[in-house]
Amino acid sequence: MSEVIATDRPPEGAADRVAEFRPSLIVGEHSLCPGCGEPVALRILLETLQELGIVERAIGVVGHGCYGSFVRIMDVDVLQCLHGRAPACATGIKRVQPAAAVFTLQGDGDMVSEGLAEVLHAAARGENITCILLNNGVFGDTGGQQTATTVLGQRTKTSLDGRDPVSHGHPIRIADIVAGIDGVGYVARGTVGTARGVARTKRMVRSALETQLAGKGFSLVEILTMCPTGWFVGAPQGPDYMEQSMARAYAPGELRVSLGDER
Amino acid sequence: MSEVIATDRPPEGAADRVAEFRPSLIVGEHSLCPGCGEPVALRILLETLQELGIVERAIGVVGHGCYGSFVRIMDVDVLQCLHGRAPACATGIKRVQPAAAVFTLQGDGDMVSEGLAEVLHAAARGENITCILLNNGVFGDTGGQQTATTVLGQRTKTSLDGRDPVSHGHPIRIADIVAGIDGVGYVARGTVGTARGVARTKRMVRSALETQLAGKGFSLVEILTMCPTGWFVGAPQGPDYMEQSMARAYAPGELRVSLGDER
Amino acid sequence: MSGALVIEVERCKGCELCIAACPPRVLEMSREVNATGYRYPILHPGCTGCTACQLVCPDAVFEVYRLSSG
Amino acid sequence: MSGALVIEVERCKGCELCIAACPPRVLEMSREVNATGYRYPILHPGCTGCTACQLVCPDAVFEVYRLSSG
Amino acid sequence: MSSSAATSGLELLEGSTAIARAAITAGCRFFAGYPMSPFTGLLESMARLLPGSGGVCINAQSEIEGVNMALGASAAGARAATGSCGQGIALMQEAIAETALNETPLVIFNMARNQQDYFQCTRGGGWGDYRTLTLAPKDIPEAVEHTQLLFHLADRHRIPTILYGDPLIAQTRIGVRIDPLELPPLPAKDWALDGSRGGTGHSRQIWTWAMGKATDPGPGPDRHWQAIAEKFERIGAVEQRSEGFGLDGAETVVVAFGSAAKFTAHVIEELRDAGHSIGHFRPITLWPFPGEALARATEHARRVLVFELNAGQMLDDVRQHAADRSAVLPIGGVSIHESGLSYGPLLDVPVIRERILAAMRGRRRLAARAGLSAGSRG
Amino acid sequence: MSSSAATSGLELLEGSTAIARAAITAGCRFFAGYPMSPFTGLLESMARLLPGSGGVCINAQSEIEGVNMALGASAAGARAATGSCGQGIALMQEAIAETALNETPLVIFNMARNQQDYFQCTRGGGWGDYRTLTLAPKDIPEAVEHTQLLFHLADRHRIPTILYGDPLIAQTRIGVRIDPLELPPLPAKDWALDGSRGGTGHSRQIWTWAMGKATDPGPGPDRHWQAIAEKFERIGAVEQRSEGFGLDGAETVVVAFGSAAKFTAHVIEELRDAGHSIGHFRPITLWPFPGEALARATEHARRVLVFELNAGQMLDDVRQHAADRSAVLPIGGVSIHESGLSYGPLLDVPVIRERILAAMRGRRRLAARAGLSAGSRG
Amino acid sequence: MEQEVLIAGIGGQGIQLVGKTLALAATLAGRHAMLAADYGGEMRGGPSQATVVVGDAPLRALPIVPAVGAALVMHDRFVGAVPERLRKGGLLLVNSSVVDVDAERAARYAYFELPAIELARELGAPAAAGLVMLGAFARLSGVVELERLVEAMRSLLPPYREQHAAGNATALEAGWAAGADRSATAAAG
Amino acid sequence: MEQEVLIAGIGGQGIQLVGKTLALAATLAGRHAMLAADYGGEMRGGPSQATVVVGDAPLRALPIVPAVGAALVMHDRFVGAVPERLRKGGLLLVNSSVVDVDAERAARYAYFELPAIELARELGAPAAAGLVMLGAFARLSGVVELERLVEAMRSLLPPYREQHAAGNATALEAGWAAGADRSATAAAG
Ligand SMILES: Cc1ncc(C[n+]2csc(CCOP(=O)(O)OP(=O)(O)O)c2C)c(N)n1
Ligand SMILES: Cc1ncc(C[n+]2csc(CCOP(=O)(O)OP(=O)(O)O)c2C)c(N)n1
Ligand code: SF4
Ligand code: SF4
Ligand code: SF4
Ligand code: SF4
Ligand code: SF4
Ligand code: SF4
Ligand SMILES: [Mg+2]
Ligand SMILES: [Mg+2]
């Protein structure tokens, strides 16, 4: 396996391009850490908007976290909102522009810590919006402290010897809670640690947006994303670490579906 | 049935007093409406503190609602806290006084509307406190507007034609959500519309406090209480109305128990 | 078993919850009103001392006795 | 099926996620570093054009082709 | 409605309802709020009236939800409002600052319990350099006008604006006419989010840090916040509003705002009739404080008496702008109704008259006690 | 630690850690906060250090949770604190006002991103008549002292107190000594809740409305809030702190606070060495603003230059207290680091020197542009 | 000239409804009216009062009305506040079914009384005693015509209480009639 | 007299660690030290810089240090800021493995260079180039003794990286040794 194939230009013979670098809706470089899962989630979200043909009526509401900087590179209308309040802002937008495809992009700190009330009230209202949660179990942006979804035993800067249920409490399984609330149309949990996970998560994002377009109520996709920096592991170890910690506490899969089962 | 028995003084012969007017911990008259269920809940809570012998280490944290005025008449240490934040305040108290019996007294508006995040985070933290929810499905104190627990179809001043899921969303079953959160020791739902309901609810309050005393984590008792004023029904109709609306949406019973089943 | 009550009529707010709660139905609302204008319960024979009225009353109007000789 | 890649090595941040993700294991990290100091993937023969590398890469380094004559 | 009422055009409306009607007349199409006395009536009126006018009213489950919903609706181009009082407005501080810094117009109805929230309205407890344009109507008819003006000014300057009401305005019922206010036209909201520019490289963005898109960079926080500060300075210069009477050469000038100014004006008319040299000055905008007008009004005054139902908050502004700072004396004070929900006994004509007369007789010390001052010399 | 360091007593500590150590030295036993730069380091230090000192630190799940937890812990008698910056402090406004009005001591660490939150600290956006005693240290050693002083003052007056820090104080590392501050003893907290009086008819109560118990009535909101206002007036008179140099007869006085004052002092020392008649005045307490000292310091000044890194907030206080209001000129301005998280290029010795010299050359207009003023005449 | 009237009684007597009816009737008649806010609750047995001001030009009255020219007293428990606020010589109309005013005090006012509860009971509308008083007051004071009162009363009734309209109208009419005969209401005073 | 030193490079080169080691070493020596806050991230490839001030009395230096008396430049990508901040005649020590300073510029300073990467690689501690530079700088400037540097370095190592202690110490020593020989580091400049 020593021969090296040239990869500096497209192949010469007949060939189909089956995967682009990234969707054209990403219009600049992100500055996130090596091995971060969030840019992968952004890509599949924007690809899905394009595939559904709803780019020109999409409005995003982005919270505070490392993904917050995506506001500079995503070529859709965006309200960068206050930490935790995206579902409330999205509600206001959707109610005055019912034809828009309104989504939020939030982290676990944003949605499950600071914004727990807002997301649950929006869900119970059956608000026709789609919330995308990038769950890495830490406040990445502020350097790796414990959030409401940090799994037991995980070391963070505010749970130095690992999250201990007695002092630091238990993680909240937000997707499970939301799935149990009346008014909710779609809830799923995916990961971006493996190629299969990415492909499956993309289908979930599509289902969530379709649920909104069909007026079937609130939809949520919780995406488990790697944060090697906040987990204090090497970038290559991200997916494995995720598999062994977060993905055990938070089982991937569809938790609530209300559209006919096209898949 | 026309003979009328004198009731202006105790009977003369040998007799046991089997029920007092109210526990000695209630030291004044409340000013709540005729037929309100909240004073009944207060009574059983204070009786239970006495029966458990924990009056001198009980600290209450009371939210904003009609029950807020109980602060004047309950003879235990009380922090009257901000609307919705009782579980957070109770956390601070309990952490610095672990031997105290710390309880909150909150309404549905207080706990499930304004304070949803605080109660859920306290539950997930497994905080050793007992939260008492007086759920009447309306903001009673401000005159009967829709809360997060108003049942579908109920008319309130902000859902004039009845709560409609499309515009006003669905009610939140808070006890069910809390029962599903790790770190929770005891969750139950009772009513005060009937004598049996009152007696049963009192046992629930006792179990909740015992759970706290045993250090088994967060406990919640949701008590369905009549609010004839906010429901726009006559006081005598309160219990029936409750039976047919709230008690259907919110089934009474124990939802999570972690102490040995002494009962 | 046989019971007796003390009813503090002046504290009553006339909500009638006790009336429906009494298993033998021996409570009835008065015709007269108390000083704040509310009708209040009066007791007819047959009280069992079950305390149901006291349990449901929001206004602490009842004290219940059980007579030792049934 | 047989595939080909374009790898924009200058965008790579060396996280190695693509290496583990490639089913036939035909990607390997370079010895050299790019301008910002990161090692990057190089391709050995055997690519199937499955797009796994592109799916997992956070930095949009890959473009994947499937050769028509497999 | 009977023919005479139709002729007079008057309808008997609770203040809250009158304001709701004015808001809808002004084009408000989204409202979200959370009950709190005495704001509750406005929320209820909106819930009753807005759906029938093509709008949406949401009984939010918290003030934070409410204000952020309104922010969202406004970002999407609708005239939007929220409201509360005291504690509820405190919870909105973060979002109010946000709307100022990301330039989303927003109208906030602070149907306050009393006048203790002057600082809250005029300085705010949000973050960063921002201000909230605040109108303090003296009664319901003026509140009806102010409500319409606030929607206009919010859009015109892309700022948060506040109506500082109180229980007397919210809960009194009067015969009133909801006449649409004539206001100059405004440009279309080409900044509002509707998705339409997605994929063009010029999609829209609302962001406090104003970083822009990689394809369409914005100024970034340093330049953007400087620009915001300059904008507020401009607004501060052009939007000052006040009124007064008897100011020409008056020896004593009384300054008061909102409902309280109705009471002081009443007293001062009496005193003028009795021959006293006294005038009345009422800031209509609390921010921008009508400093220039006050300076002119107090040029010849020997004393400037500040009557406000709090421990001395507007005092800060009066001290900064009265011609002679050392002539300023507080004569108001904290006064709370036993319910905790409205004014106490100080809002009373004889009490006010006595305080003014005492100050005019030179009993400065007594009157000054009401003020919360940081060891000032003034 | 090596012997020389032991001799010098200096430890190299990040400002956040030094403050955490000072807080623990002062007896802080409960801390709850939510991450936000540059406050995060303090939270992390507390999480690291407090459990080993018999205390509790909670990484709260929001600022609102954090401040209310701290309020609860304090109500139960512990020295308790919380913190954040800007937006996070905005979210705490309701609770900060509450602690002032229900008299629960509380220390709030506002590790701010810059100086744009002067109004937030000194006026607040809470509700009602209250103030927050605010200390603005100029550097880490002073922050270590101030931290201890704030716990003392919070308990002594039963009020909320604020440390107004910034990134330079939070994130710089210096060799510093955490010496316990000598402070007078305080009475026991007989008001704190511990349950012990339950059932006696005199159980304790902490309640903003101070209604008391039926068996032990309180003053109620009217009298209680008047008493609170009077208390703040007293505190305002006795707790003013400031320092200065070169003020005797100085023609120009520069006023600055916090870290910025370190820079202005540096420049003014240079200018004085160069023979200019210029002095420096630094408010140490922002509330109570040291108005009397400023008035004295500016008695002979021809100009009073205010350097603050915002659009002109302390200006309000300087205008109220400088001997001659019309001599006051803002020379600071909004200046933000491109990260949005710290100061921009204005906090620089040559820039400050140039602005002062320009003002001294009488270029008033230019300098004044930096200020956000409400059409003042001053 | 503005006419102010204080209506005082206890919760459950419909004090606020009487106030609203009067203010609305005046508005319907094209006059300017104000009903001052009330901060007490409307709890049965608690104090309840309403103040209405009516005039022909935009009102100059303050929203807290310290002194009134007329008072309508429905219950003796809360008659205490009246002397503080009713101007000397003002119109004082009391519900003599439950209110006793001593002759000395009555002499200070233009005093009238009406056994409103008995009257209402006779009309078969026992809950409408307040409207009987209002009818009489309107006639005595000339503040507004009977038709306007009836119109206002009807428009204030929620749909589910429309069955009370007829009884209420009768009550207003009976009061109006009683008010016509000044001597029938005027007491010995 | 206070000594200020600017340490500049790119993320991944351990710039912050070098700064901390120096400041801590000075503190351990009983001196007053300050390490100014840095607002750039520490992202690999991004700019990274640290400024340390050392003195014998409480420092008068401001927490943003505009001008320094010495600079330690680890990477040429970010050498740009140095001339703006380094005083004329100041000590300039560059990592000649990756930094090229033209003679003209070098002449304005007390210029030294050290092939720190090569040196570190030779010592078997390729990641410790920064510490090699620091050792040399300490010797050249006299700011702190070698033992203090080693002590500081050790106490900054987290437990799970203790295995690096020996290599790091060697790197500091090698730098210290190179710094002794002024001519060995001094370039032609
Ligand atoms: C009110 C408020 N509090 C705190 C912050 C600081 N803050 C910014 S990003 C962030 C962490 C967000 O964590 P998460 O949402 O999980 O995103 P991640 O960085 O992990 O992707 C926090 C706490 C803020 N911006 N606003
Ligand atoms: C921050 C804040 N918002 C609003 C209020 C106003 N408020 C006081 S009581 C109350 C209703 C409480 O409803 P609930 O808790 O259900 O109690 P109930 O009156 O029904 O017993 C509200 C909204 C407040 N006190 N504080
Ligand atoms: S800190 Fe974590 S979430 Fe943030 S960019 Fe780095 S890896 Fe991603
Ligand atoms: S409004 Fe409802 S909850 Fe409040 S006192 Fe009346 S009945 Fe009880
Ligand atoms: S004690 Fe029982 S039986 Fe007796 S009156 Fe009460 S409810 Fe009826
Ligand atoms: S339940 Fe109590 S308050 Fe209600 S009617 Fe019976 S005695 Fe009276
Ligand atoms: S396309 Fe598939 S086979 Fe080819 S390099 Fe990528 S992952 Fe490997
Ligand atoms: S996944 Fe992407 S960024 Fe990571 S090593 Fe592979 S090509 Fe580079
Ligand atoms: Mg996260
Ligand atoms: Mg309720």
CATH assignment at residue B183: 3.40.50.970
CA of B114 to the centre of ligand 2 (A): 8
Confidence of residue F3 (pLDDT cuts 50, 70, 90): low
The CATH architecture that domain G2-188 belongs to is: 3-Layer(aba) Sandwich (3.40)
- Which of chain E's residues have a Cβ under 8 Å away from the Cβ of F317? 374
Compute the nearest-CA separation of G95 from chain B (Å). Answer: 26
Question: What are the residues facing G95 on neighbouring strands?
Answer: G114
pLDDT tens, position by position, F133-156:
999 999 999 999 999 999 999 999
Q: Is the distance from CB of H158 to CB of H128 less than 8 angstroms? A: no
Task: Kindly report the CATH number that applies to the domain delimited by F242-369.
Answer: 3.40.50.920
DSSP-derived secondary structure for F231-286: HHHHHHHH---EEEES-TT-SEEEE--HHHHHHHHHHHHHHHHTT--EEEEEESEE
Q: What is the pLDDT of residue H76?
A: 81
pLDDT (0 to 100) of residue G37: 77
A105 phi, psi to nearest 5 deg = -130, 115
- Considering the domain boundaries, does residue C22 fall inside one? yes
Residue G106's pLDDT is 85
Helical H segments across chain G, by residue range:
15-28, 81-85, 103-106, 116-122, 129-141, 146-156, 165-180, 182-185
- Read off the pLDDT of residues H34-84 as tens digits, 9 standing for 90 and up: 999 776 555 666 778 899 999 999 999 999 998 999 999 998 877 777 778
Percent of chain B with pLDDT over 70: 98
User: Which chains sit next to A, with 3 or more Cβ pairs under 8 A?
Assistant: B, D, E, F, H
- Tens-digit pLDDT profile for residues E104-146: 999 999 999 999 999 999 998 899 999 999 999 999 999 999 9
Show which subunits contact F, needing at least 3 CB pairs below 8 angstroms.
Answer: A, B, E, H
Helical segments of G29-128, H only: 81-85, 103-106, 116-122
Average pLDDT for consecutive 10-residue bins of chain A (263 residues)? 87 92 94 96 98 98 97 98 98 98 98 98 98 98 97 96 95 98 97 98 98 98 97 96 95 93 46
Q: Which residues of chain E have pLDDT under 70?
A: 1-6, 363-378
Q: Would you place residue H98 in the very low, low, confident or very high pLDDT band (cuts 50, 70, 90)?
A: confident
CB contact under 8 A, F195 and B77: yes
Q: Ligand 1: which residues within 6 Å by Cβ? A: A 38, 64-67, 83, 107-110, 134, 136, 138-142, 147, 227; F 34-36, 63, 87-88, 91
pLDDT at residue H75 in the model? 87
DSSP H helices, B67-151, are 86-96, 108, 116-124
Residue C70 lies in a domain: no
- Written as one letter, the residue type at F315 is L
Query: What is the reported pLDDT for G171?
Result: 96
Token pair in block for residue F42 = 């303090």
| CA G162 from centroid of its chain's CA atoms | 22
Q: How many CB atoms lie within 10 A of CB A22?
A: 23
Residue A210 placed within a domain:
yes
Atom 6 of ligand 3 has which residue's CA nearest to it? Answer: A33
The more confident residue out of G180 and A240 is A240
- Looking at chain H, list the stretches that DSSP marks H as alpha helix, in order from N- to C-terminal side: 15-28, 81-85, 103-106, 116-122, 129-141, 146-156, 165-180, 182-185
Domain ranges within chain H, ordered by starting residue: 2-188
> What pLDDT digit, counting tens, does each position of G87-121 carry?
999 999 999 988 888 888 888 999 999 999 999 99
Distance D49 CA to ligand 7 centre (A): 5
Give residue F23's pLDDT.
98
Does the structure show a pLDDT above 80 at B77?
A: yes
Q: Do chains F and D touch (3 or more CB pairs under 8 A)?
A: no
Angle (CA) G58 G61 G63, round 5°: 110
Interval B112-154: pLDDT, tens: 999 999 999 999 999 999 999 999 999 999 999 999 999 999 9
From B34's Cα to the closest Cα of chain G, the distance in A is: 9
- Confidence band (pLDDT; 50, 70, 90) for G63? very high
Domain extent listing, chain F: 7-176, 242-369
pLDDT attached to residue E370? 41
- B172 lies within 8 A of chain A by CB: yes
Q: Hunting for tokens 């996620």 — which residue is that? A: D17
List the residue whose alpha carbon is closest to atom 9 of ligand 1: A65
- Which residue is closest to F59 within chain B, CA to CA? B125
What burial class does residue B52 get, using C-beta atoms within 10 Å of its C-beta: 0-12 exposed, 13-18 middle, 19+ buried? Answer: middle
With an 8 Å Cβ cutoff, is D38 touching chain H?
yes
- pLDDT tens-digit map of B217-248: 999 999 999 999 999 999 999 999 999 999 99
pLDDT at E368: 42
pLDDT digits (tens, 9 = 90+) for F74-96: 999 999 999 999 999 999 999 99
Q: Which of E292, E309, E296 is nearest to E279 (CA)?
A: E296
Question: F 66-125 residues with CB below 8 A of H?
Answer: none
Coil, helix or strand for B66? helix
* Cβ–Cβ under 8 Å, residues E173 and E15: yes
Is the beta carbon of B146 within 6 A of some atom in ligand 2?
no
Give partners of G (≥3 CB pairs < 8 A).
B, C, E
Whole-angstrom CA distances from B90 to A149, B202, B204, B210, H56 are 22, 21, 20, 17, 50
Residue E275's CB is within 10 A of a number of other CB atoms, namely: 7
User: Among all ligands shown, which has an atom nearest to the Cα of C5?
Assistant: 5
Report the alpha-carbon distance of residue C32 to residue C38 in Å, rounded.
8
Number of domains chain D is built from: 1
| Sign of the dihedral defined by the CA atoms of residues E109, E113, E114, E118, in that order | negative
Mutation for E interface: B69, B112, B114, most E CBs within 10 A: B114
* Percentage of chain C lying above the pLDDT 90 cut: 87
Geometric angle at alpha carbon F215, from F213 and F216, rounded to 5°: 60
Within 8 A of E59 by CB-CB distance, chain B residues are 145-146, 158-159, 168
Q: How far is CA E266 from CA E254, E257, E274, E349, G63, in A?
A: 12, 13, 13, 8, 12
> Which tokens hold the place of F230?
């009077």
| Ligand 4 pocket check for B136: Cβ under 6 Å | yes
For the domain that residue C29 is a member of, what is the CATH number?
A: 3.30.70.3270
* Rounded-to-integer distance, Cα E361 and Cα E338, Å: 32
Residue in the block written with tokens 């979930």: A204
Kindly list the residues from chain B whose CB atom is less than 8 angstroms away from the CB atom of residue F62.
Answer: 117, 121
Contact C58 B20 (CB under 8 A): no
pLDDT at C35 > cutoff 90: no
Q: Which residues surround ligand 9, an ion (CB under 5 A)?
A: A 107-109, 136, 140
- Interchain pair G66, E350: CB under 8 A: yes
Is there a contact between B182 and A168 if contact means CB atoms under 8 Å apart?
no
The mean pLDDT of G34-55, rounded to a whole number, is 80
**Separation of alpha carbons F366 and B59, rounded Å:** 60
Distance B21 CA to ligand 5 centre (A): 14
| Per-residue model confidence (pLDDT) at position F376 | 34
Specify if B43 maps to a domain. Answer: yes
> Ligand 4 centre and the CA of A206: distance in Å?
47
In this structure, which ligand is nearest to the CA of B112?
Answer: 2
DSSP code for A138: E
Element (H, E) at A207: helix A195-213
What local confidence, expressed as pLDDT, does residue F6 receive?
A: 60
Do chain H and D touch: 3 or more Cβ pairs under 8 angstroms?
A: yes
Report the pLDDT value the prediction gives residue F377, as an integer from 0 to 100.
30
pLDDT 10s digits, F283-338: 999 999 999 999 999 999 999 999 999 999 999 999 999 999 999 999 999 999 98
Is residue F349 within 8 A of residue F295, CB to CB? The reply is no
Strand partners, B18: none
F103 CA → ligand 2 middle, Å: 22
The CATH number fitting domain E7-176, selected from 3.40.50.970, 3.90.870.10, 3.30.70.260, 2.10.109.10: 3.40.50.970
Q: A82 CA to middle of ligand 4, Å? A: 36
* Least distant ligand from the CA of E62: 2
At residue G69, φ and ψ (nearest 5 deg) are -95, -10
D58: preceding bond cis by omega (within 30 degrees): no
Is the pLDDT at F69 greater than 90? The verdict is yes
Assess whether chains D and G touch, using the rule of 3 or more C-beta pairs within 8 angstroms.
no
Which domain range does residue A231 map to? 38-257
**Per-residue pLDDT, G183:** 56
Q: How confident is the model at residue D61 (pLDDT cuts 50, 70, 90)?
A: very high
**Among G15, G43, G44, G75, which would you mutate to test the C interface (most chain C Cβ atoms within 10 Å of its Cβ)?**
G44
pLDDT for position E6: 60
- The answer to whether the CB atoms of B81 and F195 lie below 8 A apart is no
Query: In this complex, do E74 and A81 lie within 8 Å of one another by their Cβ atoms?
Result: no
Interval between CA F65 and ligand 1 midpoint (Å): 15
What pLDDT, on the 0 to 100 scale, is given for residue B2? 73
In a domain, B29, yes or no: no
Q: What is the pLDDT of residue G175?
A: 96
A17-62 pLDDT, tens digit each: 999 999 999 999 999 999 999 999 999 999 999 999 999 999 999 9
Q: What is the pLDDT of residue G170?
A: 96
Complex ipTM value: 0.96
Query: In the predicted model, is pLDDT for residue C60 greater than 70?
Result: yes
Residue whose CB lies within 8 A of the most ligand 8 atoms, among D8, D9, D10, D18, for a mutation test: D18
Tell whether C69 is covered by a domain: no
* Cα separation, A149 vs A248, whole angstroms: 12
Residue of A nearest to F339 (CA): A69
Residue among F59, F89, F338 with most chain A CBs within 10 A, to mutate: F59
Task: Please give the single-letter amino acid code of residue A259.
Answer: L
